[in-house]
Structure 1
Amino acid sequence: MTMVVLAGNKSARILGLAALAAALLAGCGAVSNAPTPSPLPAVQNKVGATVAWRTNIGAQTDFRFLPAQLGSDKLVVAGAANTLALLNVDTGAKLWQVQLEKPVAGGVGANGDLIAVGTLKGELFAFGDDGKSRWKVQLSSEIIAPPTIAQNIVMVRTGDGRISGLSAKDGSRVWQFQRQLPALTLRNFAPMAVVEGSALAGLAGGRLVALGIVDGRVLWDSPVALPRGATELERVADVVSAPVVTGNQVCAAAYQGRVSCFSVLNGTLAWSREASSFSGVAVDSDHLYLVDAEGAVQAFERISGRSLWRQDKLVARSVGSPAIVNGKVAVADYEGYVHFLNPEDGSLVGQLATDGSRIAAAPQAINDKLIVQTQSGNVFALKVNK
């Protein structure tokens, strides 16, 4: 569904991915040209993928609820419509569960003894690691991306193009960053990444920005991709997946744009390749993995950006961001299947069903487990052999 927000004095239309697909197909007649999902590939489970535990948290939802790690052995999870819970990572047991005052709209942020979660109405709720309410504040627009907490600052992205830095103590505003939105943007569900005193955020218009955590000042601002084309739709080139830090580099991908890696220190471009993605990237010591806009999984050499392989057996299955678990590449799809790939050649080496509903949020590799949350409200911990 198309939503209208105000960004400064300019009206910016924000499209979800389903709405974008419909818009791109407009004018093609009554018959949809949307690609038919690839059939579920038959895969021998060479990696011994198993479900370690399963826990229900909330109800059916269209939102992307992204779990967050708290300490070494706990997992904070939000669920529809207004559930927040703390789980044991090893067993999935609920340590506590609370019901929020309002329905939540995205993942949670957690660090130290603080947990933060937002709503479509722009309310941000903060809880202690004991599940007790700390504070709540009203922000300027919807909150669908997980907050990021570091150095006693809670950083929150809102749908009007703002990033606010709030005091972890009481929610008072410490700083605010804002960019004027392009005429047409994608909804941004992506969390920020934190490294060396800076918060890295992908923006509409294809840019990656590094902000000082304590004061919000812009440390550097680099283009992942430059908008191009004759129409507003063709010029959509947003970074709507989380940037990934590896060593002294940060990498990000833009829809209808490129995948690029930059110096964490100053934003200097290391390499860039043509690629379109709204799902995101993952990295290991040698490779960068990308799920492109068609749903194919690609691998690039991490240092040079040289293309290595492309796995297209999952095309049009609404495959989400990749993750690395026990040396395997994992991606999840619209039917709740998690697929495991060999990082050397992209071959499918494992497959595991969950509950049949879409896994929209990025899988999280925590300790030796892969954590996924489905849109039916179930959280799964998966294990694979090395």
Structure 2
Amino acid sequence: MAHWSKLLITGVLITGVLSGCSSNDELIKIAPVPQIQTNVELQVNWDASVGSGSGEIFSRLQPTIAYSKVFASDRAGIVAAFDVTSGDKIWQINLAGETSFFSSTQSALLSGGVSHGYDKIAIGSENGELYILEQATGELVWHKQVGGEILAKPLMAGNKVIVSTGNGKVIAFDLETGEQSWVYQNDVPALTLRGNSGLVENQGAIFFGLPKGKIAGVLIDGGRAIWEQIIVTSDGGNELANIIDVDATPLLLGDTLYAVAYNGNLAALELRTGKILWKRAYSSLQSMVVDGYNLYVTSSDGLENRELSAPAILNGHVAVIDFEGYLHLLDSEAGTLIGQMQLDSDGYIARPLVDNNVLFLLSKDGLLSAVTIK
């Protein structure tokens, strides 16, 4: 039985960057910031600077939280660790100066965000470079060219680090040596969204979204495909309407996997077989979050075209942040706005993270903030 009872529709990111076509010139009407009676007050516990951020490039440089630290990066090459409670900087490294491909003045084009595991952290780049660092010191353990853009966070599991690349590959490397273990190959259509689904792990397998409305499960040991499932097919309309990428990271809850496609469907799949349990018409690029029996995903509503982030759960409320840096807090049952504050006006793309009822956000300008409810 699917662990799902309802959806909270909060907004949509419809200005995704396309690969293989030029943007159109149609004006997009942006909804004004909703004026609300604030019922819940938010406060910033601390701020810290992480290099120069990602700028106007669509880059999901999501931080990660582990080992009592927050790890974050900018696009140019800075990776830093901060104390999760105080925000004090523990270490910082510039990866632009750590390889033979770059000088310290050239951008490393880091992308996708930081992941952690086995006392190490990992991050990839648009140049196809994968970096493994010691979490305690930031020391570079090894780096490797993988042959394709790494636009999603690497995954560490089974003593391997696994990446998804923009040219349709999922590649596993030995975490200690950097030697390639296996490659899973998927065809990429000529026109896709510029991005990749993140990878999720469960009981020796990984699951991820792909272009053409596909979800796949692959064994960590050996890279053999367990199953592949199509959750939506193109309707034969215009080229843009036929983009049905699954760029949102699937959500695992019990023995059910949830996935959503752009221009497509929201679907629940049986984890073991990939069988579709149910699906409904829904379109999103953003990852989902679950709280109890409620599944939350951003799509179009009153905050239309404000380029909302993926949702996060903060003290039982739903939090999203927009392109102008407004943090919106919604009632998890009614979907009504109950709290709001503006952080960095340069805006946000990366998904907010929650740890011990603290919300962590990284802006496009490189401002890392820890926010709580008063």
Instruction: Give the TM-score, by structure 1 length.
Output: 0.85
Q: 2: distance between equivalents of 1:219 and 1:22?
A: 33
Q: Deviations over 1:35-73 (max 9, x none)?
A: 2111001123322211121111010422221101223x2
1:137 alignment counterpart: 144
8 A Cα contact 1:146 1:189, kept in partner: no
Q: Deviations over 1:145-165 (max 9, x none)?
A: 111111211011111010101
Q: Give the gaps of 5 or more residues in structure 1.
A: 1-15, 26-31, 297-311
Query: Secondary structure of the residue that 2:288 maps to in structure 1?
Result: strand
Query: Identical aligned pairs, as a percentage?
Result: 31
Q: 2: distance between equivalents of 1:124 and 1:33?
A: 38
Letter in 2 for 1:42: Q
Q: Deviations over 1:115-170 (max 9, x none)?
A: 11112211111111121111111111111211111121101111101010110001
1:94 alignment counterpart: 89
Query: Secondary structure of the residue that 1:237 maps to in structure 2?
Result: coil
Shift of 1:384: 2.4
2:5 alignment counterpart: none
8 A Cα contact 2:112 2:152, kept in partner: yes
Q: 2: distance between equivalents of 1:217 and 1:365?
A: 34
Letter in 1 for 2:304: V
1:233 alignment counterpart: 240
1:211 alignment counterpart: 218
Q: 2: distance between equivalents of 1:60 and 1:196?
A: 35
- Whether 2:192 is the aligned partner of 1:196: answer no
Shift of 1:19: 4.3
Q: 1: distance between equivalents of 2:144 and 2:348?
A: 30
Query: Secondary structure of the residue that 2:370 maps to in structure 1?
Result: strand
Q: Deviations over 1:220-244 (max 9, x none)?
A: 2122222222333221100011111
Q: Give the gaps of 5 or more residues in structure 2.
A: 1-14, 97-107
Q: 2: distance between equivalents of 1:21 and 1:322?
A: 29
May I ask how many residue pairs the two structures share in their alignment? 345
2:338 alignment counterpart: 349
The one of the two structures with greater contact order (alpha-carbon pairs below 8 A, sep at least 6) is 2
Shift of 1:363: 1.0
1:40-55 equivalences under 5 Å are: 40-55=33-48
8 A Cα contact 1:80 1:377, kept in partner: no
Shift of 1:175: 0.8
Q: 2: distance between equivalents of 1:178 and 1:20?
A: 19
Does 40-49 or 335-344 show the bigger shift? 40-49
- Whether 2:68 is the aligned partner of 1:69: answer no
1:37 alignment counterpart: 30
Q: 1:324 aligns with which of 297, 313, 335?
A: 313
CA RMSD of aligned residues (A): 1.8
1:304 alignment counterpart: none
Q: 1: distance between equivalents of 2:309 and 2:231?
A: 20
